[in-house]
Amino acid sequence: MDTLAAIKARRSVKHYDPEHKMTDGEIEQLLSLAVLSPTAFNIQNWRFVVVSDPELRQKIREVAWDQAQVTEASLLLVLCADRNAWNREPERYWKDAPEAVQGILVPAIKNYYEGNEAAQQDEAMRSCGMAAQTIMLAAKAMGYDSCPMDGFDFDAVGKLINLPEDHSIAMFVVVGKPVKPAWDRPGQLPLGDVVIRDRF
């Protein structure tokens, strides 16, 4: 499926075949595509928690308004943002770049993020959002459906997955084989309502 078709076909599906299993190879392929998503300064501040333990998934479902897709989808990903990724060996993010580029961008990472907690949080969350969209479009191209989710108790899930103190949960993405299609699109706003030329 090409990209334009995947964008048009992607829907937030809620009902999945609980018997269907994705292969390890499919999950690795999906995550290998996810990590090609853009991040500021290439700091790759997303962290993907692949929840495969059935007991843990059930506990997460209990703090996610008992939404069935948490346990029934083939794959449950908790997308987390590492707010301190900027300060974890930043030279590794530019290790394959020419030295002149490294000399400019590696120090720029510290200059931008140090002491700027709002930027650390906001940038990491934006990065997770872009990665989530990559996952959902890639899943559609691979013959799967998906659903982004924020209907859960973030603190409770953080405890269940032992979330480090300097990380934030952005959202879940579930992926699997649907047993029931999504509703028809409920109504897209016309471009005239959402596109502004130059100024409000």
- Residue 106 to residue 178: CA distance in whole angstroms: 44
Best CATH choice for the domain 3-183 from the list 1.10.8.10, 1.10.260.40, 3.40.109.10, 3.30.379.10: 3.40.109.10
Domain coordinates of the chain in residue numbers?
3-183
pLDDT digits (tens, 9 = 90+) for 63-109: 999 999 999 999 999 999 999 999 999 999 999 999 999 999 999 99
pTM, 2 dp? 0.95
pLDDT at 1 over 90: no
- Residue 115 to residue 93: CA distance in whole angstroms: 20
pLDDT digits (tens, 9 = 90+) for 5-58: 999 999 999 999 999 999 999 999 999 999 999 999 999 999 999 999 999 999
pLDDT at 173 over 90: yes
Helix residue ranges, H only, 10-116: 24-34, 54-62, 69-72, 99-113
Pairing of strands 15-16, 167-176: unpaired
Q: Tokens 């390890």 belong to which residue?
A: 24
Report the run of H or E that residue 180 belongs to, with start and end.
Answer: strand 178-180
Contact criterion met (CB below 8 Å) for 74 and 100: no
